[in-house]
Amino acid sequence: MSPRLFPHVDKVAHFGVFFILAFISHHAFKFKVWFHLLLLSLYGAGIEWMQDSLPYRQASTADFIADVAGAISYFVLFYFWARWRKKQHG
């Protein structure tokens, strides 16, 4: 096993990847926010479920939580950015 930069670096990676997936999903499809979050949550759950069926891998609730947190964080950040931008530009 390779040395890690810091504890739980994989959770940071899960968070970041799902933040980026939320950005891509949001710009590619004009769904309601709740539907984006549902799809991304199902995708994260599916990944964990499939991992659990592979030898030498296991599902992780913490990974799933990091996935969902990354997606939610994107939409929260986008909401506040859009409000700020609207105030700036009228």
Q: Which two tokens stand for residue 19?
A: 């933040």
Q: Whole-angstrom Cα distance, residue 90 to residue 86?
A: 5
pLDDT tens figures, 40-73: 999 999 999 999 999 999 999 999 999 999 999 9
Residue ranges of domains in the chain = 9-89
Global pTM value: 0.89
Look up residue 10 and give its amino acid: D
Could you tell me if 70 and 14 are in contact, meaning their C-beta atoms sit under 8 angstroms apart? yes
Interatomic CA distance for residues 23 and 54, integer angstroms: 29
Instruction: State the Cα–Cα distance between residues 90 and 65, nearest whole angstrom.
Output: 37
pLDDT of residue 3 exceeding 80, the answer is no
Which pLDDT score is estimated for 5?
A: 77
Other CB atoms within a 10 A radius of the CB of residue 63 amount to 19
State the DSSP H helix or E strand holding residue 17, giving kind and residue range, or none if neither.
Answer: helix 9-28
